[in-house]
């Protein structure tokens, strides 16, 4: 909240509120039902029997695409998330990635309607007032991608589906780490592996043993990023 925000609040309300809080219009609060809860639903809280599907929606259709925008945006030279999604190349890549996620989401699993949720996420990314930078959202990818992207890859591979766009996301993250464009707790180790063993050595660590065979796809995507830059975002599975 800035001084300009407080001045606008004062102008609209006719009083000074030094504790005014500015936020985006979106809000979501999901609570797992237990005995003794107050009537939270009366104030817009979703009280559900199991939060797992809601968590999966957030990770797969909000957080994962958010990371994808960040790394694609850095690759294309954009400072902020809003600027990145205003780029047709980045926006097209992320929309296609979201479609890939939707292909393995069960709409009857108890979570929010997937397509509407995904569309709302993309609209939120385009809000320039939020000011989120690609470097900020892209930080700590070694921790985030394990929850946001790799489970989707597992789900697609289990169904015999390709995961080329997800390989580009992981490769773009490795590229950002290599260029020190993002902070990452595993940065020093990954840069050492890239220097000693190339992209495959780093990718094998990044994707873990469950997806070990997929590391070659990540390494190939990394090579395309080095040769084509943002042009590698044009993926035709």
Q: The domain spanning residue 161 has which CATH number? A: 1.10.1040.10
Q: Does 14 have pLDDT greater than 80?
A: yes
The total of structural domains in the chain comes to: 2
28 and 119 part of one domain:
no
Position 213 scores a pLDDT of 85
Q: What 8-state DSSP symbol labels residue 229?
A: G
108 and 22 part of one domain:
no
130 and 226 part of one domain:
yes
26 and 76 part of one domain:
no
Domain boundary among 31, 47, 63: 47
In 3D space, the residue among 30, 28, 35 whose CA is nearest the CA of residue 51 turns out to be 30
Q: State the Cα angle at 184 between 96 and 72, rounded to 5°.
A: 25
Q: Does 208 have pLDDT greater than 90?
A: no
Q: Does 236 have pLDDT greater than 70?
A: no
Mean pLDDT of the chain: 93
Structural domain for 16, as ranges: 3-47
Position 237 scores a pLDDT of 60
For residue 16, the SS3 value is coil
37 and 64 part of one domain:
no
Q: How far apart are CA 62 and CA 114, in angstroms?
A: 11
Q: Does 26 have pLDDT greater than 80?
A: no
Q: How much is the average pLDDT of 93-109?
A: 96
In 3D space, the residue among 187, 162, 179, 193 whose CA is nearest the CA of residue 229 turns out to be 179
193 and 118 part of one domain:
yes
Q: How far apart are CA 53 and CA 156, in angstroms?
A: 17
42 and 58 part of one domain:
no
130 and 214 part of one domain:
yes
Q: How much is the average pLDDT of 26-36?
A: 80
172 and 129 part of one domain:
yes
Position 31 scores a pLDDT of 85
28 and 137 part of one domain:
no
In 3D space, the residue among 235, 233, 236, 207 whose CA is nearest the CA of residue 78 turns out to be 233
108 and 11 part of one domain:
no
């Amino acid at each position: 909240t800035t001084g300009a925000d407080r001045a606008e609040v004062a102008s609209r309300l006719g009083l000074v509120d030094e504790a005014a809080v500015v936020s985006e219009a979106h809000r979501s609060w999901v609570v797992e039902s237990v005995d003794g809860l107050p009537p939270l639903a009366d104030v817009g809280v979703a009280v559900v029997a199991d939060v797992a599907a809601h968590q999966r929606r957030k990770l797969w259709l909000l957080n994962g695409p958010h990371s994808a925008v960040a790394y694609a945006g850095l690759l294309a030279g954009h400072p902020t998330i809003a600027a990145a999604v205003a780029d047709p190349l980045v926006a097209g890549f992320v929309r296609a990635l979201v479609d890939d996620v939707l292909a393995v989401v069960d709409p009857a699993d108890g979570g929010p309607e997937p397509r509407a949720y995904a569309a709302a996420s993309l609209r939120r990314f385009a809000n320039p007032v939020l000011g989120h930078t690609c470097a900020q959202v892209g930080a700590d990818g070694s921790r985030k991608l394990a929850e946001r992207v790799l489970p989707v890859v597992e789900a697609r591979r289990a169904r015999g589906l390709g995961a080329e766009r997800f390989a580009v996301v992981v490769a773009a993250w490795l590229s950002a780490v290599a260029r020190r464009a993002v902070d990452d707790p595993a940065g020093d180790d990954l840069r050492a592996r890239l220097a000693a063993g190339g992209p495959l050595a780093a990718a094998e660590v990044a994707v873990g043993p469950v997806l070990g065979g997929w590391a070659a796809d990540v390494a190939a995507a990394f090579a395309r990023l080095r040769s084509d830059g943002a042009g590698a975002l044009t993926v035709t599975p």
